[in-house]
Structure 1
Amino acid sequence: MNVLLIAGARPNFMKIAPIYRASLSYKNVVCSIVHTGQHYDKEMSGTFFEELEIPQPRYALNVGSGSHATQTAGIMVAFEEVCRREAPDLVLVVGDVNSTLACSIVAKKCGISVAHVEAGLRSFDLSMPEEINRMVTDAISDSFFVTEESGVANLLREGKQKDRIHAVGHVMVDNLLHQVKRMEGIEPSCFETYRLKEAAGPYLFLTLHRPSNVDSKEVFGGIARAINELAAQRTVFFPVHPRTRNMMSVHGTELSDRVILLPPLGYRDALFLWKDAEVVLTDSGGLQEETTALGVPCVTIRENTERPITVEIGTNVLAGTAPERILAGYRQSLEKRGRARVPQLWDGRAAERIWQVLAGEGR
């Protein structure tokens, strides 16, 4: 079986890494990694792939940034040539980025089966580009690998065949647990932020990058007021996304001296900080799940989430973007510590289950 694994941005590699590693147990499976180049990331060096224990991509499409239409079209044109050359049996896509959508469409047009990992997640907010990507990808996929119960319910409601829907757990959690175990053998002082972390006492960890949060001066200003109020009590570590840094300059956003601005961090460097935070504040999708997996309190600075299980039984509090709601969310998140649970099947073996299904289907 010839399989193409698609990744468009750094978080996608965290998801395909366990899938690639698990494929090595199957002698009749050959996986090739395709990096669309949707996001350029200088951190993705040879060391990056060594840490994930995967080879560098066989195909690098180098599409780059642009409008959604420009980027999606560029990926489709470049990936069509890969499909013609490889004639794969299966294209496996993860998540909800433009690369997920583009490669799924191309594969189906070429008569190639598509498997979607993280299928069925819904925010029910069509103003989010990711929601459109999720819905369209699921509309044409052949196999659906689901992380949580809401995904199964959404897919059934949309008319998908029950025998094509597979609750397998979460490959992002596979990677997280794998990396946590590997970090146990690394001396903490090797991390660049070690001294900052040791001197901070109880601290918070913040990520913020969504256009809906940072492009509006009013919304960003309100979030900043809440963060500054929290910073009066706790040091806040804030690795700043390039888009966010630019908008801070445009808006003249001022943050407390106790908000420690850091450059974008690699996966392990970020994990080194957030895993021991008192609370994580984020507008990321993945961190909602990863914090739940490790039992770290999380406040999501968004009006909705496509990952409801992290709120229902996990450590996540959906706070919205208003300052008073963020502060209330912080207090609520502390109360959830010790009462939250890790969702079923988030045990580090999702990738194994995916291959059990695919091998059983005779691909």
Structure 2
Amino acid sequence: MTQVLCVAGARPNFMKIAPVMAALAEAGIAAQLLHTGQHYDAAMSDSFFADLGIPRPDHHLEVGSGSHAVQTAEVMKRFEPVLESVQPQAVLVVGDVNSTIACALVAAKRGVRVIHVEAGLRSYDRSMPEEINRVLTDQISDLLFTTERSALANLQREGIDPARVEFVGNVMIDTLYRNLEHAVPSVRTLGATLAQYAVLTLHRPSNVDDAPTLAALLDVVGEINRTLPVVMPLHPRTRGNIERFGFTAKLDGLHILPPVGYLEMLGLMRDAKLVLTDSGGIQEETTALGVPCLTLRENTERPITLDEGTNTLVGPHPEAIRRAFAEILAGGGKAGRIPEYWDGRAAMRIAYKLKDWLPMPKGVHALSDTRIV
């Protein structure tokens, strides 16, 4: 009997599901893995599964690309017969991508318990599709695992019973610690030795779909590159818009890479003097690595990286970016510290909670007092 059907669909999910699958196996919990195929680059998807030691999916929906509505609907349509066939005790979803809300909705409507890993994170920006996914997934989840203590207050403001919530730490950091010694040295990824460099990742629609915003960001990055070489793994969406807007010349002088695998990216971040990003997960990874991070967004759903970590919120504003960059050059940037329970054991805390919780009838949320520290 399958106790837990675990769902992954896009690149951010893979780093979160890897330690969870390993911990469930170690705890003796029967689990199956479903890949929705939301991340439709088969080669990159396969590389992440290989790098992270994720078992081959038991089910693959092969959904592919589409608008948010089309993709969410297609996941729901293809997921339902799998759920009916497997009949798990619970469905476990991670993060905030379309696959997360789609599979959670199907499970909840069919009376199957939903477990949400990385619950309670809020940017309070409803223009972000991920924020809608987070809020709705948390509302229909039976058990919510959080990465930071402040997430509980977010959930309580939305009327969620604290008995459904358990603070376990950050599974993304489990994956980082587990793979750090296997990270590909930056010199191998770059094919050259750079004494110091910055890493840039850029993919959010608010930054790359608007021509003036993208132009301003590329211009200020070009300025930074004259002082500190900038390495940019180029997201396909970003590359397409750069070409469409006629901005290709703005990449001159930057160290442009194709999309890289997890171990290559981990090595690039570990060895960097600075990371500039609009990614949520990279804000967490740089905090764990102790590398200064400038987040090119107006807000973040990961405030702990600002309050305790190495992250600084600068938005897509050239002057703020210049000022923060100058401060890093002058003083090295925020030192930060490792947040509570970002210790590589979050997935095991999840697994041991589930051993106590899964036999309970649906609707009973009381958790064991066992603490895995």
Distance 1:273 1:97 in 2: 25
Q: TM-score, normalised by structure 1?
A: 0.94
| Matched-pair contact (CA < 8 Å) for 1:316–1:333 | no
What is the DSSP-based 3-state SS (H/G/I as helix, E as strand, rest coil) of the residue aligned with 2:227? coil
Output the aligned Cα RMSD. Answer: 1.7
- 1:202-238 Cα offsets, whole Å, 9 max, x none, are 1000000011101111000111111011011011100
Amino acid at match of 2:18: A
Residue 190 of structure 1: how far off its partner (Å) = 8.8
What is the DSSP-based 3-state SS (H/G/I as helix, E as strand, rest coil) of the residue aligned with 1:20? helix
What is the DSSP-based 3-state SS (H/G/I as helix, E as strand, rest coil) of the residue aligned with 2:271? coil
Amino acid at match of 2:205: P
Q: Which runs of 5+ in 1 are unaligned?
A: none
Work out which of the residue numbers 277, 281, 284 in structure 2 matches 1:282: 277
> 1:181 aligns to what?
181
Residue 284 of structure 1: how far off its partner (Å) = 0.3
> 1:13 aligns to what?
14
> 1:245 aligns to what?
239
> 1:346 aligns to what?
342
Distance 2:277 2:161 in 1: 35
| Matched-pair contact (CA < 8 Å) for 2:89–2:358 | no
Work out which of the residue numbers 268, 276, 281 in structure 2 matches 1:273: 268
Distance 1:246 1:120 in 2: 33
What is the DSSP-based 3-state SS (H/G/I as helix, E as strand, rest coil) of the residue aligned with 2:5? strand
| Matched-pair contact (CA < 8 Å) for 2:51–2:263 | no
- The change in CA–CA distance for 1:251 and 1:159 in structure 2 (over 3 A counts) is same
- 1:11-62 Cα offsets, whole Å, 9 max, x none, are 21111000001111223x2111111111212334655423322211111101
Matches within 5 A, 1:27-176: 27=28, 29-44=29-44, 48-176=48-176
Q: Which runs of 5+ in 2 are unaligned?
A: 360-373
- The change in CA–CA distance for 1:45 and 1:160 in structure 2 (over 3 A counts) is closer
| Runs of 4+ in structure 1 over 6 Å off | none
1:331 aligns with 2:332: no
Amino acid at match of 2:354: L
| Matched-pair contact (CA < 8 Å) for 1:318–1:329 | no
> 1:207 aligns to what?
201
**Matched residues, percent identical?**
51
Distance 1:225 1:47 in 2: 32
What is the DSSP-based 3-state SS (H/G/I as helix, E as strand, rest coil) of the residue aligned with 1:232? helix
Residue 329 of structure 1: how far off its partner (Å) = 2.5
What is the DSSP-based 3-state SS (H/G/I as helix, E as strand, rest coil) of the residue aligned with 2:26? coil
| Matched-pair contact (CA < 8 Å) for 1:3–1:92 | yes
Work out which of the residue numbers 181, 186, 191 in structure 1 matches 2:188: 191
Query: Mean Cα displacement is larger for which, 338-347 or 57-66?
Result: 338-347
| Total equivalences in the alignment | 356
Residue 258 of structure 1: how far off its partner (Å) = 2.9
Residue 182 of structure 1: how far off its partner (Å) = 3.3
Query: Mean Cα displacement is larger for which, 139-148 or 153-162?
Result: 153-162
Distance 1:49 1:158 in 2: 35
| Matched-pair contact (CA < 8 Å) for 1:234–1:258 | no
1:231 aligns with 2:202: no
What is the DSSP-based 3-state SS (H/G/I as helix, E as strand, rest coil) of the residue aligned with 2:306? helix
Distance 1:23 1:16 in 2: 10
Work out which of the residue numbers 312, 315, 318 in structure 2 matches 1:320: 315
Residue 137 of structure 1: how far off its partner (Å) = 0.3
Q: TM-score, normalised by structure 2?
A: 0.92
Residue 149 of structure 1: how far off its partner (Å) = 2.2
Amino acid at match of 1:25: E
What is the DSSP-based 3-state SS (H/G/I as helix, E as strand, rest coil) of the residue aligned with 1:144? strand
What is the DSSP-based 3-state SS (H/G/I as helix, E as strand, rest coil) of the residue aligned with 1:43? helix
Work out which of the residue numbers 212, 217, 220 in structure 2 matches 1:218: 212
What is the DSSP-based 3-state SS (H/G/I as helix, E as strand, rest coil) of the residue aligned with 1:24? helix
What is the DSSP-based 3-state SS (H/G/I as helix, E as strand, rest coil) of the residue aligned with 1:118? strand
Amino acid at match of 1:82: V
> 1:261 aligns to what?
256
Amino acid at match of 1:5: C
What is the DSSP-based 3-state SS (H/G/I as helix, E as strand, rest coil) of the residue aligned with 2:120? coil
Amino acid at match of 2:299: N
| Matched-pair contact (CA < 8 Å) for 1:122–1:131 | yes
Amino acid at match of 2:5: L
Amino acid at match of 2:146: V
Amino acid at match of 1:208: L
- The change in CA–CA distance for 1:180 and 1:269 in structure 2 (over 3 A counts) is same
